[in-house]
């Protein structure tokens, strides 16, 4: 069973940066794509960013120039660097990993943007 462990969440003031990590229990070359999602209280989980096995990235419009995905294949880890954070970015952030037939999820990490 694949395990994904997110870390790096916390409390950050508006305008500040934060970097999330998602460590996989096995080689991330197994996954066609890995993604970052978030879920705010009372809202549905939404896609934030994706990074493919080849390193191609995609961000949703609301975070397009503020968030950056990257991957370290040697560490089996993907990252989400978040800059210029806004209060509306407050949510639980999850990573997922997709093979041809399965999708795996981490347990999430809380990000709170507040002064």
Q: What secondary structure does DSSP assign to 66-115, as a single string? A: TEEEEEEGGGTEEEEEE-S--GGG-EEEEEEEE-SS-EEE---EEEEE--
- pLDDT for res 37: 97
Per-residue pLDDT of the chain (115 residues; tens, 9 = 90+): 899 999 999 999 999 999 999 999 999 999 999 999 999 999 999 999 999 988 888 888 788 889 999 999 999 999 999 999 999 999 999 999 999 899 999 999 999 999 9
């Amino acid at each position: 069973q694949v395990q994904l462990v997110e870390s790096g969440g916390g409390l950050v003031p508006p305008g500040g940066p934060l970097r999330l990590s998602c460590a996989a229990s096995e080689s991330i070359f197994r996954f066609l794509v890995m993604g970052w999602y978030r879920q705010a209280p009372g809202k549905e989980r939404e896609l934030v960013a994706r990074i493919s096995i080849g390193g191609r990235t995609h961000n949703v419009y609301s975070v397009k120039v503020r968030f950056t995905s990257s991957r370290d294949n040697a560490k089996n880890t993907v990252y989400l660097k978040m800059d210029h954070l806004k209060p509306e970015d407050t949510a639980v952030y999850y990573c997922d990993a997709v093979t041809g037939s399965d999708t795996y999820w981490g347990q999430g990490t809380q990000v709170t943007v507040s002064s």
